[in-house]
Chain A
Amino acid sequence: MPDLLLITFYGVFLSQIFLLSYYYPNKLYQRMRYVAKTYPPSKYPKLYPNLLGSDADDIAKTRPKPYRYINMAIMVAGLLLLVVAMRSDYYPSGEGEETFVFLFAMLQFLPFIYLEFSECKQLKLMRDVNKASKRKAELEPRHFFGFVSPSLFGIAVILFFAALWFNFYIKDYDLSWARGTLTSVLALIGIHLYFAALFMWQVYGKKINPHETHKDRRIHRGVVVRVMVYTSIGLSVLMITVQSIREYNLDYLEPLIMSIYFQILAVIGIGTILHSNPIENIDFDVYKENV
């Protein structure tokens, strides 16, 4: 049994390294390369507000490369860590290594966060450069349930309250800071408040991309809202699972659970974005000069 735990942990951690530092980064890299090759700055200048000049097409093609190199470096670092752990006879005990798994996952997510910030910067530049006097809007109201099914949302709400209740229940309704009950509860509430703000911004806020078609924007909004609901479900399940394994002295499972959780997070986050919004379906004609 212990050997099985060790093998499972190494397998799951290896899968985390592969998924977060190779598989999805590679998918995103291929997507960026495809866009740069198929929709170059010379033909689609509105897509590249900060790229001008004759060498803009070449710059656009090489621009995603650092992203790939960073991910490869993180992957190598992860593999080295795995080798060091194997050689040092590491055995999962849940005495703090879950923090290590958490920190490594954060390191793996950093390039994705960097991409998000770069995109925000790019979109802000697009809005600043956009001098079109004509502005368009859909004459249809947007509602939360236009993006996510009531049943899925219901599951997320039930699990949110179940996680809150379980957290109190398992700590015998002890609200002291020392037992961590309030910290967990406040963290869960805080993240959900952030989701609520993000939802309001996405659905009712100002246009982020001034050129995007209504159809593409609707798809994009739907993906973001669904990812938030899936993440909420994942968070609630993680909280219940972690509290349970701590309470029943199964701490040695914590690094394993943490690693699985981050992989699920990547699948529902990046996976949903890639799967629900294929690049071929996006209308890039709006980025042409005279559109």
Chain B
Amino acid sequence: MEIIIDIDDPVPLFSQLMEQIKQAVLDGKIKAGDALPSIRQLANDLDINSKTVAKSYRLLERDNVIQTKGYRGTFVHPDAKVNSMIDLNTTIFEHLSKVIEVLRDRGATDSEIRIAFGTVMNNRKD
């Protein structure tokens, strides 16, 4: 199974990596329980920063597509196939679009919405 990333692509590298791993799961190229390369190995092979790979792995782990088992390494999650179908970005986009629509209907300007969004995000405790 081969991963190909394009450093000139406007899509962030970590997103390209996440999408390809999810696609590999959906295509059945990697199955539940399969071992994945270490962050360092993948970063070195792709000649990208290891923090980028770490970010992809962290987000995939959050989405239950992969799981880290300590020193044994990183593996494909048992529910990876189902979880790979869920696109959190689309959900976020849909929800935010609805909220922005409501706020605009009530007369809020775009800058007010941006400032409020930034303030709410910055003041989050968790």
A contacts, CB < 8 Å to B:
133-142, 204-207, 214
Q: Is the CB of B5 within 8 A of A135?
A: yes
A-B CB proximity, top 7 nearest: A137-B45, A133-B8, A139-B1, A206-B44, A141-B37, A135-B46, A137-B46
Chain A residues with CB below 8 A from B38, complex form: 141, 204
Q: B8 CB to closest chain A CB, in angstroms?
A: 4
Which one of A137, A142, A206 has the greatest number of beta carbons of chain B within 10 Å?
A137
Task: Report if B86 contacts A (CB, 8 A).
Answer: no
Task: Report if B7 contacts A (CB, 8 A).
Answer: yes
Chain B residues with CB below 8 A from A141, complex form: 35-38, 41, 73
- Closest residue of chain B to A214 (Cβ to Cβ) is B2
User: What are the interface flags for B76-118 relative to A under an 8 Å C-beta threshold, 1 for contact and 0 otherwise?
Assistant: 0000000000000000000000000000000000000000000
Task: Report if B26 contacts A (CB, 8 A).
Answer: no
A sample of 19 inter-chain contacts (CB < 8 A) reads: A133-B6, A133-B7, A133-B9, A135-B4, A135-B45, A135-B48, A136-B46, A137-B3, A137-B37, A138-B3, A138-B37, A139-B1, A141-B37, A141-B38, A141-B73, A204-B38, A206-B45, A206-B47, A207-B44
Cα of A142 to Cα of B38 in the assembled complex, Å:
9
Among B2, B21, B24, point to the contact of A136 (Cβ < 8 A). Answer: B2
Q: Is the CB of A139 within 8 A of B47?
A: no
Chain A residues with CB below 8 A from B55, complex form: none
- Closest residue of chain B to A136 (Cβ to Cβ) is B4
Task: Report if B40 contacts A (CB, 8 A).
Answer: yes
- Closest residue of chain A to B29 (Cβ to Cβ) is A139
Cα of A40 to Cα of B125 in the assembled complex, Å:
64
